[in-house]
A = this chain, B = another copy of it.
Amino acid sequence: MTELGELAGRLRRFAEVRDWEQFHTPKNLAMALAGEVGELLAELQWLTPEESATIMDDPQAAARLRSEIADVMIYLTRLADTLGVDLAEAAHAKLDESERRYTVESYRGSARKAPPLA
């Protein structure tokens, strides 16, 4: 069992035993995911990019960040599971595309276009 499969399984059982699957439609889970991302943004919104790069040096901020990122991961995993999407496989497939599209030769250090990952 992969670590992503294990996490998805734990979340599935968590919902099942509480009879919460009725609430876990893709639409609802996507909203919950967005809500958690909003909380993550709130931790970073007034920092400069440079301050954000060293935020984990502050133990209290680090704990909050870790907790918000965990929430995002939890809802993303649950959403992907309800849709039957394999997160690692989907991410690698997208990266295959991005590597073809954003060739190193053309995009190295380039700021002429918003540098994407995906």
Contacts and interface: CB of A to CB of B under 8 A. Distances in A.
Instruction: State which size class the interface on A falls in.
Output: 35 or more
A43 to B, nearest CB: 8
Given A33-B37, A65-B83, A18 B107 contact: yes
A88 B1 CA distance: 13
B67 A45 contact: no
Interface string A61-85: 0000111011111111111101111
Interface of A: 2-4, 6-7, 10-11, 14-15, 17-20, 22-23, 25-28, 30-42, 44-50, 52-53, 55-56, 65-67, 69-80, 82-85, 87-88, 90-95, 98-99, 102, 104, 107-111, 114-118
